[in-house]
Structure 1
Amino acid sequence: MYRCRLPSGPSVLGGALRLPVTLLGNLLIILLTLADAALRSPLYFFLRHFSVVEILCTTTICFTQLRFFALFGVAERCLLTAMARGR
Protein backbone atom coordinates (compact mmCIF):
# COMPACT_ATOMS: atom_id res chain seq x y z
CA MET A 1 0.00 0.00 0.00
CA TYR A 2 1.26 3.48 -0.88
CA ARG A 3 1.90 5.76 2.05
CA CYS A 4 1.79 9.53 1.57
CA ARG A 5 4.95 11.20 2.84
CA LEU A 6 5.20 14.87 3.65
CA PRO A 7 8.28 16.71 2.36
CA SER A 8 10.95 17.31 4.96
CA GLY A 9 12.05 20.70 3.53
CA PRO A 10 10.75 24.12 4.46
CA SER A 11 7.00 24.42 4.47
CA VAL A 12 5.14 26.25 1.76
CA LEU A 13 3.37 28.37 4.35
CA GLY A 14 6.67 29.48 5.86
CA GLY A 15 7.94 30.51 2.45
CA ALA A 16 4.71 32.32 1.65
CA LEU A 17 4.83 34.26 4.92
CA ARG A 18 8.47 35.29 4.65
CA LEU A 19 7.91 38.21 2.25
CA PRO A 20 4.89 39.82 3.99
CA VAL A 21 6.46 39.49 7.44
CA THR A 22 9.72 41.05 6.21
CA LEU A 23 7.92 43.91 4.48
CA LEU A 24 5.61 44.62 7.42
CA GLY A 25 8.45 44.50 9.93
CA ASN A 26 10.58 46.91 7.94
CA LEU A 27 7.63 49.23 7.31
CA LEU A 28 6.95 49.23 11.05
CA ILE A 29 10.55 50.24 11.76
CA ILE A 30 10.33 53.05 9.20
CA LEU A 31 7.03 54.36 10.55
CA LEU A 32 8.12 54.21 14.20
CA THR A 33 11.39 56.04 13.57
CA LEU A 34 9.54 58.73 11.63
CA ALA A 35 6.70 59.12 14.14
CA ASP A 36 8.66 59.39 17.40
CA ALA A 37 10.72 62.55 17.86
CA ALA A 38 12.97 60.77 20.38
CA LEU A 39 14.16 58.47 17.59
CA ARG A 40 15.94 61.19 15.61
CA SER A 41 19.50 60.15 16.45
CA PRO A 42 21.93 59.07 13.71
CA LEU A 43 21.56 55.44 14.76
CA TYR A 44 17.84 55.46 13.97
CA PHE A 45 18.46 57.45 10.79
CA PHE A 46 20.67 54.64 9.51
CA LEU A 47 18.28 52.01 10.83
CA ARG A 48 15.43 53.61 8.86
CA HIS A 49 17.51 53.68 5.68
CA PHE A 50 18.67 50.12 6.33
CA SER A 51 15.00 49.08 6.43
CA VAL A 52 14.36 50.81 3.09
CA VAL A 53 17.31 48.97 1.55
CA GLU A 54 16.06 45.70 3.05
CA ILE A 55 12.63 46.24 1.47
CA LEU A 56 14.25 46.95 -1.89
CA CYS A 57 16.47 43.86 -1.54
CA THR A 58 13.57 41.64 -0.55
CA THR A 59 11.36 42.68 -3.44
CA THR A 60 14.02 42.13 -6.12
CA ILE A 61 12.60 39.19 -8.06
CA CYS A 62 13.19 39.62 -11.79
CA PHE A 63 16.50 38.64 -13.43
CA THR A 64 16.89 42.14 -14.85
CA GLN A 65 16.80 43.47 -11.30
CA LEU A 66 19.82 41.37 -10.31
CA ARG A 67 22.08 44.40 -10.73
CA PHE A 68 19.88 46.34 -8.33
CA PHE A 69 20.12 43.46 -5.86
CA ALA A 70 23.91 43.80 -5.92
CA LEU A 71 23.62 47.58 -5.58
CA PHE A 72 21.28 47.30 -2.60
CA GLY A 73 23.63 44.75 -1.03
CA VAL A 74 26.51 47.21 -1.29
CA ALA A 75 24.34 50.00 0.12
CA GLU A 76 23.32 47.73 3.00
CA ARG A 77 26.95 46.99 3.84
CA CYS A 78 27.83 50.70 3.69
CA LEU A 79 24.99 51.53 6.07
CA LEU A 80 26.04 48.77 8.47
CA THR A 81 29.62 50.04 8.36
CA ALA A 82 28.48 53.60 9.09
CA MET A 83 26.31 52.37 11.97
CA ALA A 84 29.18 50.38 13.44
CA ARG A 85 31.52 53.33 13.06
CA GLY A 86 29.05 55.62 14.87
CA ARG A 87 28.98 53.41 17.97
Structure 2
Amino acid sequence: MIEIEIRLRGDKEFLNLITLSLKPDYKDILFERTDDTLLVKFSADEITKARAMFNTITRLVQSITDIYTLAKEENLFR
Protein backbone atom coordinates (compact mmCIF):
# COMPACT_ATOMS: atom_id res chain seq x y z
CA MET A 1 0.00 0.00 0.00
CA ILE A 2 1.33 3.41 -0.99
CA GLU A 3 0.31 6.40 1.13
CA ILE A 4 0.72 9.98 -0.07
CA GLU A 5 0.33 13.24 1.84
CA ILE A 6 0.17 16.66 0.24
CA ARG A 7 0.48 19.72 2.49
CA LEU A 8 -0.95 22.97 1.19
CA ARG A 9 -0.52 26.34 2.86
CA GLY A 10 -2.58 29.43 2.26
CA ASP A 11 -5.21 31.72 3.62
CA LYS A 12 -8.46 30.38 5.03
CA GLU A 13 -10.59 31.27 1.96
CA PHE A 14 -8.17 29.50 -0.37
CA LEU A 15 -8.01 26.30 1.68
CA ASN A 16 -11.80 26.29 2.08
CA LEU A 17 -12.19 26.62 -1.69
CA ILE A 18 -9.90 23.64 -2.31
CA THR A 19 -11.67 21.51 0.29
CA LEU A 20 -15.16 22.39 -0.94
CA SER A 21 -14.13 21.81 -4.56
CA LEU A 22 -12.48 18.42 -4.09
CA LYS A 23 -14.21 16.77 -1.14
CA PRO A 24 -17.56 15.88 -2.81
CA ASP A 25 -15.89 14.11 -5.74
CA TYR A 26 -13.07 12.40 -3.85
CA LYS A 27 -14.70 10.64 -0.92
CA ASP A 28 -11.75 8.24 -0.49
CA ILE A 29 -9.36 11.13 0.20
CA LEU A 30 -8.86 12.48 3.71
CA PHE A 31 -8.81 16.26 4.13
CA GLU A 32 -7.45 17.61 7.44
CA ARG A 33 -7.49 21.36 8.15
CA THR A 34 -5.65 23.61 10.54
CA ASP A 35 -5.66 27.40 10.37
CA ASP A 36 -3.21 27.83 7.49
CA THR A 37 -2.57 24.24 6.33
CA LEU A 38 -4.57 21.65 4.45
CA LEU A 39 -3.35 18.07 4.56
CA VAL A 40 -4.59 15.86 1.72
CA LYS A 41 -4.03 12.12 2.30
CA PHE A 42 -4.77 9.18 0.06
CA SER A 43 -3.49 5.70 -0.62
CA ALA A 44 -3.29 3.32 -3.55
CA ASP A 45 -2.28 -0.27 -4.01
CA GLU A 46 -0.04 0.37 -7.05
CA ILE A 47 2.51 3.03 -7.89
CA THR A 48 0.73 3.76 -11.19
CA LYS A 49 -2.55 4.49 -9.41
CA ALA A 50 -0.80 6.57 -6.75
CA ARG A 51 0.99 8.62 -9.40
CA ALA A 52 -2.23 9.15 -11.36
CA MET A 53 -4.10 10.28 -8.25
CA PHE A 54 -1.25 12.60 -7.23
CA ASN A 55 -1.15 14.15 -10.71
CA THR A 56 -4.92 14.60 -10.76
CA ILE A 57 -5.01 16.25 -7.34
CA THR A 58 -2.09 18.57 -8.09
CA ARG A 59 -3.61 19.62 -11.44
CA LEU A 60 -6.95 20.35 -9.79
CA VAL A 61 -5.28 22.33 -7.01
CA GLN A 62 -3.34 24.32 -9.63
CA SER A 63 -6.55 25.11 -11.50
CA ILE A 64 -8.28 26.17 -8.29
CA THR A 65 -5.25 28.31 -7.41
CA ASP A 66 -5.38 30.05 -10.79
CA ILE A 67 -9.10 30.76 -10.46
CA TYR A 68 -8.71 31.97 -6.87
CA THR A 69 -5.82 34.28 -7.79
CA LEU A 70 -7.70 35.75 -10.74
CA ALA A 71 -10.86 36.23 -8.68
CA LYS A 72 -8.90 37.94 -5.94
CA GLU A 73 -7.12 40.23 -8.41
CA GLU A 74 -10.42 41.19 -10.01
CA ASN A 75 -12.07 41.72 -6.60
CA LEU A 76 -14.73 39.10 -7.25
CA PHE A 77 -14.84 38.03 -3.59
CA ARG A 78 -17.17 40.13 -1.50
TM interval, shorter chain, is 0.3 to 0.5
Could you tell me the TM-score, scaled by structure 2's length? 0.41
Higher helix share: 1
User: Relative contact order (C-alpha < 8 Å, sep 6+): which is higher?
Assistant: 2
Higher strand share: 2
Q: Which has the larger radius of gyration?
A: 1
